[in-house]
C-alpha cells in the first residue's frame, strides 16, 4: 500500500492533507475533531498581535457561486484574522500539539509590518511547540487596509524583509503564504526565497465581488446596505492556483523551493494535480467548510488507491512530475493535428455541438443526413479546437483523434509529418529561429 507520509520542510505528518488557516482551524475544539477525522496537519487560523483582538462584522460574511445542482463552486468571505485572544490561541495550540505529536501544527501569523512586532510574537509562538509558522501575506480585505496581509504580499521588498526577520528571530521553519492578487506570482515567490523562506504556500484568496443584490443595489454579502470586496476561493479558484503553483515550480530562480498547494482542493484528484505540478503537500479550506472534516477519509483512500494503481510507492515519486510538461505556448507542437470524432451510439442528437461549432467555431459539424438529425464532423473544416467536446452533455461521446504521420489533413491538404515543430521555427513567424526543444 502506498506510503502517504509527508515531510514538508522537516515538518512531518501522516498524510499530505492539511487544513488551511481559516475557520476550520480557528480553535482547539475544531482542530481536535479534524485530527480525529484524519487530517495530517493544520495551519492555525491567523494570529494577530497581543492586545484587543480584531472585530468581525456581525452580519453575513460569506458570498457564493453555485453550479446548477447547487454545488458550491466559488466561495467569498470578508472575515478577518482570528478574533480570539492571542494568549488563548497560544494555549490551545500548545495543548493540541502535545496531544497530537504526530500531526503538523503550524501557526499562521499576521502582525504590523515592523521589526518589533514580528520580534515580539515569534518567541510566543515558538514556545507553544508549533512545528512552524506561516506568514499571512495574503488576506485581501480589512487587514490589507491596515497595511498587513496582501498589502505586504504585493510588495516583494516587504515580503523579503519580513521573511528575513522571521528567520532571524525564530528557529521555526517559515512558510510564506502568497497572495494571488498580483500580476506575476514569481516576483513575491523569488522575494520570499531571497529572504530565506523555507517554503511558500499558495494561494490565499482572490479579490472578488461574487454577486450584486439587484433590489438593494449593493454587493453581496451586504452589511446594512453596503458591501466590500472579499476573498474568493473554492473549486472555481483552482485553475488560478494551479497555474501559479506551476509558475513557481518551473521558474529557474525558485525551482526546488518547497510549495504547499492551496485553492479549491475538494477531492484526492485535486490534491494529486497540485502535487504533480510541484506541491509537496496541500491545504484545504472551502471543501472542509462545505462538507465537513470527514472528506479527508476519501482523500486519503483515493490518493492511496491511485498511487497503488500507478505504482507510486511514496509521494516523492510523483510530486513535480507534471511541472516538466508545463511550457510556454511558443513551444507547443504545431504538427500535432487532431480531429473530433462523434460516437453515433452515444449521441442523443441534442445538437449542441453543431450550434457551438456553427456559431462560434469552424462550421465543421453537420446537423442532418437524409432529412434526419445527424451530427458528424467534417474533417475538411475541423481545426481540432475541442469546443464540441466541452459542450456535449454526454461524456466521451465526442473525443479527439490524433492524425497519424503520413495521413492527410483534409483541412489544409498537407501530409502529417509527425515531426515536432513549434512557433519558434514556423515560416509565418518573422522572428523564427532554428528549431529547439524546450529545456527539460
Position 392 contacts ligand FMN (CB under 6 A): no
d(CA 75, CA 154): 22
d(CA 95, CA 188): 34
H/E element holding 241? helix 238-250
CB of 393 to ligand SF4, least distance (A): 6
Eight-class DSSP state of 235? G
Closest CA to 159 of 188, 198, 184: 188
| Exposed e or buried b per residue across 97-130, where buried means at least 16 C-beta atoms within 10 angstroms of its C-beta | beebeebbbbbbbbbebeeebbeebbebbeebeb
139 or 387: CB nearest ligand SF4 = 387
DSSP bridge partners of 107: 44, 133
Rule CB under 6 A: which of 281-340 touch ligand FMN? 284-287
187 or 362: CB nearest ligand SF4 = 362
Position 367 contacts ligand SF4 (CB under 6 A): no
Q: Select from 46, 176, 260, 281 the one that contacts ligand FMN (CB under 6 A).
A: 46
Position 340 contacts ligand SF4 (CB under 6 A): yes
Position 365 contacts ligand SF4 (CB under 6 A): yes
Closest CA to 32 of 86, 95, 96: 96
Would strands 174-177 and 199-202 be described as parallel, antiparallel, or unpaired? parallel
Rule CB under 6 A: which of 211-270 touch ligand SF4? none
DSSP bridge partners of 208: 230
CB of 267 to ligand FMN, least distance (A): 12
Selecting among 113, 139, 166, 382, the annotated active-site residue is: 139
Question: Among 15-23, 210-218, 243-251, 347-355, which window interacts with ligand FMN (CB under 6 A)?
Answer: 15-23
51 or 371: CB nearest ligand FMN = 51
Whether residue 155 contacts residue 137, with contact meaning beta carbons closer than 8 Å, is answered with no
155 or 416: CB nearest ligand SF4 = 416
C-alpha cell at 271: 490534491
Count of residues of this chain found to bind ligand FMN when the rule CB under 6 A is applied: 28
75 or 312: CB nearest ligand FMN = 75
d(CA 125, CA 133): 8
Whether residue 280 contacts residue 256, with contact meaning beta carbons closer than 8 Å, is answered with no
d(CA 78, CA 87): 24
Position 210 contacts ligand FMN (CB under 6 A): no
Q: Select from 163, 262, 275, 377 the one that contacts ligand FMN (CB under 6 A).
A: 262
Closest CA to 351 of 339, 333, 366: 366
Whether residue 135 contacts residue 163, with contact meaning beta carbons closer than 8 Å, is answered with yes
408 or 436: CB nearest ligand SF4 = 408
C-alpha cell at 142: 480589512
230 or 384: CB nearest ligand FMN = 230
Position 337 contacts ligand SF4 (CB under 6 A): no
Position 186 contacts ligand SF4 (CB under 6 A): no
Position 386 contacts ligand SF4 (CB under 6 A): yes
277 or 364: CB nearest ligand SF4 = 364
Block residue for cell numbers 512545528 = 131
CB within 8 Å of 34: residues ≥ 6 apart:
19, 24, 25, 42, 288, 293, 296
Position 77 contacts ligand FMN (CB under 6 A): yes
C-alpha dihedral sign at 288, 290, 291, 292 = positive
Q: Select from 16, 38, 138, 227 the one that contacts ligand FMN (CB under 6 A).
A: 138
d(CA 283, CA 261): 6
Q: Select from 97, 141, 177, 250 the one that contacts ligand FMN (CB under 6 A).
A: 177
CB of 139 to ligand FMN, least distance (A): 6
CB of 281 to ligand SF4, least distance (A): 38
Question: Among 86-94, 136-144, 184-192, 404-412, which window interacts with ligand FMN (CB under 6 A)?
Answer: 136-144
The option from ligand FMN, ligand SF4, none interacting with 394 (CB < 5 to 8 A, set by class) reads: ligand SF4
d(CA 93, CA 105): 8
347 included as an active-site residue: no
Position 144 contacts ligand FMN (CB under 6 A): no
**Main-chain dihedrals φ then ψ at residue 135, nearest 5 degrees:** -90, 120
Residues that bind ligand SF4 (CB under 6 A): 340, 342, 347-353, 357, 361-362, 364-365, 375, 377, 382-388, 392, 394, 397-398
Q: So which residues are the catalytic ones?
A: 139
Amino acid at each position: 500500500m502506498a506510503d502517504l507520509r509527508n515531510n514538508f520542510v522537516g515538518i512531518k505528518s501522516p498524510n499530505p492533507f492539511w487544513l488551511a488557516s481559516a475557520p476550520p482551524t480557528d480553535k482547539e475544539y475544531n482542530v481536535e475533531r479534524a485530527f480525529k477525522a484524519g487530517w495530517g496537519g493544520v495551519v492555525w487560523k491567523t494570529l494577530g498581535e497581543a492586545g484587543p483582538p480584531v472585530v468581525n462584522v456581525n452580519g453575513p460574511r460569506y458570498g457564493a457561486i453555485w453550479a446548477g445542482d447547487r454545488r458550491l463552486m466559488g466561495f467569498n468571505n470578508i472575515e478577518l484574522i482570528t478574533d480570539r485572544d492571542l494568549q488563548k490561541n497560544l494555549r490551545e495550540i500548545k495543548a493540541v500539539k502535545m496531544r497530537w505529536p504526530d500531526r503538523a501544527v503550524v501557526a499562521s501569523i499576521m502582525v504590523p509590518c515592523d521589526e518589533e512586532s514580528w520580534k515580539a510574537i515569534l518567541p510566543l509562538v515558538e514556545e507553544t511547540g508549533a512545528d512552524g509558522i506561516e506568514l499571512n501575506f495574503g488576506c485581501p480585505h480589512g487587514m490589507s487596509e491596515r497595511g498587513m496581509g496582501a498589502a505586504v504580499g504585493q510588495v516583494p521588498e516587504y515580503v523579503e524583509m519580513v521573511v528575513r526577520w522571521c528567520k532571524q528571530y525564530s528557529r521555526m521553519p517559515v512558510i510564506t503564504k502568497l497572495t494571488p492578487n498580483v500580476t506575476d506570482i514569481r516576483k513575491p515567490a523569488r522575494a520570499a526565497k531571497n529572504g530565506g523562506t523555507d517554503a511558500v504556500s499558495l494561494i490565499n484568496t482572490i479579490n472578488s465581488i461574487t454577486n450584486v443584490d439587484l433590489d438593494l443595489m449593493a454587493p453581496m454579502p451586504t452589511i446594512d446596505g453596503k458591501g466590500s470586496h472579499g476573498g474568493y476561493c473554492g473549486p472555481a479558484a483552482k485553475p488560478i492556483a494551479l497555474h501559479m503553483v506551476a509558475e513557481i515550480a518551473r521558474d529557474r530562480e525558485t525551482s526546488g523551493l518547497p510549495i504547499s498547494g492551496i485553492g479549491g482542493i475538494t477531492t484526492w484528484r485535486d490534491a494529486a494535480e497540485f502535487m504533480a505540478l510541484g506541491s509537496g503537500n496541500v491545504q484545504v479550506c472551502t471543501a472542509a467548510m462545505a462538507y465537513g472534516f470527514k472528506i479527508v477519509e476519501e482523500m486519503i483512500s483515493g490518493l492511496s488507491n491511485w498511487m497503488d494503481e500507478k505504482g507510486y510507492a511514496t509521494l516523492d515519486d510523483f510530486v513535480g512530475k507534471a511541472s516538466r510538461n508545463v511550457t510556454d505556448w511558443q513551444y507547443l507542437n504545431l504538427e500535432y493535428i487532431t480531429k473530433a470524432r462523434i460516437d453515433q451510439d452515444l449521441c442523443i442528437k441534442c445538437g449542441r455541438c453543431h450550434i457551438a461549432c456553427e456559431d462560434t467555431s469552424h462550421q465543421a459539424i453537420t446537423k442532418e443526413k437524409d432529412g434526419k438529425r445527424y451530427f458528424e464532423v467534417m474533417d475538411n473544416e475541423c481545426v481540432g479546437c475541442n469546443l464540441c467536446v466541452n459542450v456535449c452533455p454526454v461524456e466521451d461521446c465526442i473525443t479527439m483523434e490524433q492524425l497519424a504521420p503520413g495521413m492527410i489533413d483534409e483541412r489544409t491538404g498537407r501530409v502529417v509529418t509527425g515531426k515536432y515543430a513549434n512557433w519558434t521555427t514556423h515560416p509565418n513567424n518573422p522572428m523564427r529561429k532554428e528549431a529547439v526543444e524546450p529545456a527539460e
